[in-house]
Amino acid sequence: MKTFTSSLPNDLFEKLDAMAKQYGIAKNKIIEKSLGIYLDQLNRAEYVRSYKVAGKDQDIMSIAEEGMTDYLENLDAGDKE
């Protein structure tokens, strides 16, 4: 595990301190969990953004439509067996 030092605005530190005391959790654990959640949200936002960009690309949409056509044909074929 790496050590890292940072500064927080006073109001944010006071909120962190109050929550740590209220729930009996170390401040560093709250920061660790919060940062993990925030980074996951950033990844999800990038994932959504990439799909929005892909949705505007005609070549990608054509490939996706062809793939869906094949997929549906395979589903139909499986139902007939």
> pLDDT at position 79, please?
67
> pLDDT at position 81, please?
65
Domain housing 69: 10-80
Longest dimension (CA), the chain: 68
Residues 41, 17, 22: CA angle, nearest 5 degrees? 95
* Number of folded domains that form the chain: 1
Decide if 15 is inside a domain. Answer: yes
Decide if 31 is inside a domain. Answer: yes
pLDDT tens digit at each of 81 positions of the chain: 899 899 999 999 999 999 999 999 999 999 999 999 999 999 999 988 887 777 788 887 788 778 778 778 887 777 666
> pLDDT at position 23, please?
97
Angle between helical axes of 58-80 and 27-55 (0-180°, round to 10): 90
